[in-house]
Amino acid sequence: MAKRAAEDDEQSPQALKAGERPMADEGVPEGQEFEDEYEDEFESEDEIFEAGVDGRPDEEREADEKAAGAMEVDQETFIPGRHKLDAGQTLSPDLSTYEMLHTLESTWPCLSFDVIKDNLGDNRRTYPATVYAVGGTQAAQGRERENQLMVMKMSGLSRNDQAGNIDSDEEEDDDEETADPILENKSIPLTSTTNRVRAHQTPQASASTPPTTLTASMQESGDVLIHDITHHLQAFDTPGYQIPASATKPLSTIRAHKKNEGYALDWSPLVPAGKLLTGDCTGSIFATTRTEGGGFVTDTNAYTGHTGSVEELQWSPNERNVFASASSDGTVKIWDARSKSRKHAISVQVSNTDANVLSWSRQTPHLLASGHDDGSWSVWDLRQWKSPDTAAQSKPVANFNFHKEQITSLEWHPTDDSIVSVCSGDNTLTLWDLAVELDDEESKYTADVKDVPPQLLFVHYMEQVKETHWHPQIPGAIMATGGSGFGVFKTISV
């Protein structure tokens, strides 16, 4: 499992096998002809073709080449935390398990990004695929003024023809083009690292105008910047389109957090105009609402109750005034945004370590997942959180300790309420299917490895992976960001 793009393997199918390949015949200059030493040995072109380029059958020659110089390849599954690489060993992806696999590099790595919904249609399954996204960079120390908000278009994301779910009939009937992946970027200059960025789209005013796309980015400086990136998105697909100079300036700058940086940020999915939650390292949470005139108003009366940093915020997918928070104090709290006291309604100790991230199921709103600093993650049934007393006594309906480093991101599949993606500090992104039933005997060994839950569907290796999101319009497609850039892939298992 490695970060190498699928197209690299397609261009160099013998990259790990070091056998010498025959050189193409470039012809012989006039006057330098030589006698063919095999001329008298073969009587027909057919016989020469069968014998191969050096007088031996191709199969025999290739077998000798492989035996002489082939690199030894271990085909066993590598599981971080359970297996170790020997000196000189590297990881390589099993391309038969990826329907699509691409990596794209940016000038500076991004700590956070968000996928942007486009007008190319829902439930897309054709290739090459196109993805729009926005990310915030983390420039090196001393070069903070090189930071930027990156509005991105990734196109030419072709299907991997080595995928195990592609049969010969499908390949023959497929007219899809093969293209090289392209990353286009429209940048907005920033002077600080972006800790978290989230996008929000307002409804289209008419069929002839695109929806307004807003972004909110939490800066290391403590400010929260709101930008309108609608013009940047239009510039990708409209030849000659000029982005107004004013589009690089924020619509609003939220300074309620003063100089306290934060990582928690979420737009409400139920307030079309735009309503934003932001949380900082002091435990304060602020709500900002967009007005009818297009401005933004922040309620400076903070929601308080956490004794540690607010690490994650998420609005309820079905209740307009309810949101959840996760904190380094190890708790997840449920809040009523209308509360005049600005105090939480429910608090649950979900871990003895930091609660880093949470995700609210869009398909089954009573399910909430939390990811923790000790590498564990849990699923909670909010029907058990109807009162503070019952919530305090509740236990997770599922708990997993597969990862050995902190959980940095997790997200429910947008249309399947049993599938969850999880990122960890052990450089892996895992996919899980909670619908798989636990069997006491079978659960002891999965893929001949002890203590691997049967719910684990897939392990994808990505160095310093930080955050992942499902694409809402390409079923099963995932985008992730890490220390070396972006990854876009789709497995045959989801």
pLDDT tens for the chain, 494 residues long, are 444 444 444 444 444 344 444 454 455 555 455 454 544 444 444 444 444 445 556 666 666 655 555 445 455 666 666 667 666 666 777 888 999 999 988 888 998 999 999 999 999 999 999 999 999 999 998 898 999 999 999 999 999 988 876 654 454 444 555 668 899 999 999 999 999 999 999 988 777 789 999 999 999 999 999 999 999 999 999 999 999 999 999 999 999 999 999 999 999 999 999 999 999 999 999 999 999 888 999 999 999 999 999 999 999 999 999 999 999 999 999 999 999 999 999 999 999 999 999 999 999 999 999 999 999 999 999 999 999 999 999 999 999 999 989 999 999 999 999 999 999 999 999 999 999 876 655 555 555 566 788 899 999 999 999 999 999 999 999 999 998 899 999 999 88
Query: Residues 294-325, buried b or exposed e (16+ Cβ, 10 A)?
Result: eebebeeebbebbebbbbbbbbbbeeeebbbb
DSSP for residue 37: T
Q: Where are the beta strands (DSSP E) in 344-484?
A: 346-349, 355-360, 367-372, 377-381, 398-400, 407-412, 419-424, 428-433, 445-446, 449-450, 456-461, 467-470, 477-482
Q: What is the pLDDT of residue 162?
A: 84
- The residues facing 216 across adjacent strands are 198, 226
| Residue 292 within any structural domain of the chain | yes
Helix (H, G, I), strand (E, B), or coil: what is residue 95? helix
Q: What is the predicted pLDDT for the residue at 92?
A: 72
CB-based burial, 87-103: b 16+ in 10 Å, e otherwise: eeeeebbebebbbbbbb
Strand locations in 273-315 (E):
275-279, 285-290, 296-303, 310-315
With respect to residue 269, please indicate whether it lies within any of the assigned structural domains: yes
Distance in angstroms between the alpha carbons of the first and the last residue of the chain: 18
State how far the Cα of 481 lies from the Cα of 469, in Å rounded to an integer: 9
Residue 69 φ/ψ, nearest 5 degrees: -140, 10
* Per-residue pLDDT at 448: 54
The DSSP result for 53-76, as a single string, is TTSS-HHHHHHHHHHHHPPP---S
- Whether residue 134 lies inside any domain: the answer is no
CATH (domain of 295): 2.130.10.10
Q: How far is CA 183 from CA 106, 111, 114, 328, 433, in A?
A: 8, 18, 15, 36, 31
> How many separate domains does the chain show?
1
Q: What is the pLDDT of residue 47?
A: 42
Domain contains 444 = yes
β-partners of residue 298 are 288
Look up residue 278 and give its two tokens.
């932001």
* Helices first, then strands: H and E counts in the chain: 6, 30
Q: Which residue has the tokens 């592609």?
A: 166
Query: Is 407 among the domain residues?
Result: yes
Residue 362 lies in a domain: yes
3-state secondary structure of 184: strand
Is 61 inside a domain boundary? Answer: no
Measured torsion, CA atoms of residues 349, 352, 354, 358, in degrees rounded to the nearest 10: -40
Q: What letter would DSSP give residue 472? A: S
Integer Cα distance of 304 and 348 in angstroms: 15
- pLDDT of res. 2: 41
Q: Which of 108, 177, 101, 173 is nearest to 146 (CA)?
A: 108
Residue 88: its pLDDT value, please? 63
Overall residue count recorded for the chain in this entry:
494
Give the burial string for 455-485 (b: 16+ CB within 10 Å, else e): bbbbbbbbeebbbbbbbebbbbbbbbbbeeb
Structural domain for 393, as ranges = 255-425+427-460
Residue among 467, 472, 490 at smallest CA distance from 136: 467
Phi and psi based region of residue 293 (left: phi greater than 0; alpha: psi -120 to 50; beta: remaining): alpha
Q: What is the per-residue pLDDT for 3?
A: 40
CB 235 within 8 A of CB 210: no
Residue 302 domain-assigned (yes or no) = yes
Any idea which residue has 């590099």 for tokens? 105
Sheet holding 322-327, edge to edge: 310-315, 322-327, 331-336, 346-349
DSSP 8-state code for residue 35: -
User: In this structure, what DSSP letter does residue 11 have?
Assistant: H
Question: In this structure, what token pair is assigned to residue 307?
Answer: 């004794």
Q: In what order do the strands lie in the sheet with 456-461?
A: 407-412, 419-424, 428-433, 456-461
